[in-house]
A and B are shown apart, each in its own frame.
Chain A
Amino acid sequence: MKGHRTASRGPGISRRKFLRVAGGAAAVGGLGFPTVLRAQQAPIRVGHLTPRTGFLAPLGEYAVMGARLAVDEFNEKGGVLGRKVELITEDSQNPGVAKQKVIKLIEKDKVDVLIGEISSASGLAISEEAQRYKVVYINTGFNTDEARGARCQRYMFHVEGANTMYTKTIGRWLIREKKISRWYFLTADYAFGHDLYRVSSRFLKENGGVNLGNEMIPTNTPDYSGYILKLKAVKPDLVYINLAGVDQTTFLKQYRDAGAPFELAGGVMDTQPFWAAGIDALSGHWQSLWYHELKAQGSPEFTAAFRKRYGKPPENQAWGEYVGTRILLQAIQASKSTKSADLVRYLESGVSFDILKGRRGTFRPWDHQLLQEMYVVKVKDKAKMKDQWDIFEIVEAVPKQNESLELIQPTREENPCTMPAI
């Protein structure tokens, strides 16, 4: 009978094995695969890190498209210093993997410069390695003030806006419209969110508003119904969301249907999560780093080239990579060098760059933040949309033409940085 018993187990798997194996599989699921996008001979190598998996992956996709477009445009014009430019893109996934990938890009691929990232947690990890290996790194997508302040690096430059810039841009509009009132915050529970909550709650307090509370929410939360029930009980005047990526989409969609009447504003706005939420889930005024309907010099051309190649307009993350890559390659061209120290000196020299906005951009020498305009945008009337991408009207540039670009920046006192030596 023993033989029969064995046979009757059939295709089975024991309970213990089930648990052990499924646990292991869940761990393995975190690994991914690199992509080499272009390979040429004796090229200038640009190492590009961006999340291709997880809640920021939809933004990462635009990052890849933007960087690729910029590199191809340079190569069509004969490259840089007579050399082709090669783009090597890696999925940065999370801070641990990002650290491994940046070391791999530097040691194995021998990249000349680094660009990218969206997650603040991963970005801080990358910048430490860039500093250690002395390779110039342009941040195109992460916002934490800390990276421009306490953890600033000599070899890191920021095309992306800092949390304070996003906060002050919408903040000036909120003050003018007298919406500094009783606020309730929802915040992404990682480096970006923590920093943004610090900045946005400080802004509220300094301007005389009342903070009714803050909810720290894990990234990739599929269901906000519990949080929305909770905030409905608090009855704030305004709900301020410090969420990013897919989380923004999920929240916006669920907020609208839950019958919560309170006005919304937030500490960051990326267009893609708003596109994904759909116009019906959107309302109010938001801040934007760049928007594809901008009429400033160069913007319509970039939008047209991007649309032609990819069949849809560029998102602000695509702008970040496109402009960041161009700045890096222009720096190499102008300083006739790929040496990191030469590039740092050039970028710190106060030279201005065409960043497809109404005013040119310059890196602030003491914290390496790109001084630039941002925009207040308003959700468009559904009837006036040209296509599904046309969700905002641009209300105004911040700061205005006649105002200093420093107006929305963190001050030296707010965010002190001690730059390491070259």
Chain B
Amino acid sequence: MVPLSALILLEHLANGIVVAAYYVMLALGLSIIFGMIGVINLAHGAFFALGAYAALVLKGAIGFAPALVISPILVAVLGMAIEALFLRPLYRGDPLLGLLFTFGLAMVMEQIIRIIWGAAGLPFDAPEALRGAVRMGEFAYSRYRLFMLGGAVASILGLWLFLEKTRFGTIIRAGSRDGEMVRLLGIGLKPVFTAVFGIGIALAAVAGVLTAPLAGVHPAMGTDVGTAAFVVVTIGGLGSFWGSVLAGLLVGEIVSLSILLWPPAAQASMYLLMAVVLLVRPRGLLGERWEKFE
């Protein structure tokens, strides 16, 4: 069996951080949409898949790096159009309507992907420069995964700076906490809702594009994504930025370590973590008391 040593443990901990990057990106998108609009976007995984497919088409024409930027923008524009046309009229009704709508949307989008690109998976290769492994003596690690980690950290920091340092970001944060108050100050929230939906979708699409070279693309690639994102958001605390980051890291590490130490728990470990957190801190690790969620 595997000889357990400090080095191997360290390798798995480091790998856990890379795994976490994927969870954090998914969770942040879901979290800001929920925080602002109050809709659990069950189509998150479908936008993740669409981002990957759009990049597959784009990279043939313009290369991987531009596709990594343009695909999420295109998918976000589509997302914003859907928000403005279909989701917006539902805000005044039962909150469940939004949920049902995104549930249906996810199925429709997956079928559309099947119709356009076929049900069988398609190859998606990383660019030549990112293939293979980086070697440091005994230690070898996938070059592409390091790039993916960089991409994820850049997206996360970019989003944080945007929310903290810009006027629009301030409106988003204020609007998430107390939309009524922001409206009373004379700031219309309609365009803010649309923008936030777009940003959340763009994050899902970036995650989709970054994941594609690791596994290729197939229409159901987003199916489990929404569930994982939901688990991370719940652990971190609804609406909490750093909560999602912390929870993503915890999930990445717990998945990575359970593979090393007790593989049968690899899949269940994140759900176990969620159950424990919900028992001890029902609001999630960094979840604050938000009036609108109580």
**Hey, which bits of chain A sit against chain B, CB under 8 A?**
4-5, 7-15, 17-19, 21-22, 25-26, 28-29, 52-55, 57-58, 60-62, 212-213, 215-218, 220-223, 225-227, 229-230, 232-234, 246, 249-250, 253-254, 256-260, 272-273, 275-278, 280, 315, 388
Contacts and interface: CB of A to CB of B under 8 A. Distances in A.
Nearest to B224: A220
Contacts of B124: 278
Nearest to A260: B140
A14 B216 contact: no
A75 B264 CA distance: 49
Most buried by A among B11, B92, B215, B291: B215
B133 A258 contact: yes
Given A223-B19, A253-B214, A272 B227 contact: no
A21 B40 contact: yes
A280 B215 contact: no
B114 to A, nearest CB: 8
Contacts, number: 198
A276 B2 contact: no
Contacts of A17: 95
Contact of B263 (A8, A60, A215): A215
Given A15-B283, A58-B120, A246-B218, A225 B1 contact: no
B19 A225 contact: yes
Given A5-B291, A61-B120, 6 more contacts: A13-B293, A25-B40, A55-B220, A57-B220, A223-B255, A227-B259
B216 A8 contact: no
Interface string B91-121: 1100110110001000000000000001111
A280 B125 contact: yes
18 contacts: A5-B291, A11-B38, A11-B179, A12-B38, A15-B294, A17-B95, A58-B218, A61-B120, A222-B22, A225-B18, A233-B2, A254-B214, A257-B131, A257-B132, A258-B133, A259-B135, A259-B142, A278-B125
Q: Which 4 A-B pairs have the closest CB atoms?
A: A259-B133, A278-B123, A259-B140, A226-B259
A249 B216 contact: yes
A13 B227 contact: no
Interface in B30-78: 34, 37-40, 42
Overall SS of chain A's interface: helix
A22 B34 CA distance: 12
B187 interface: no
Contacts of B141: 258-259
B250 interface: no
A389 to B, nearest CB: 11
A257 B129 CA distance: 12
Contact of B145 (A19, A225, A246): A225
A277 B133 contact: no
Contact of A9 (B12, B135, B213, B292): B292
B42 A25 contact: yes
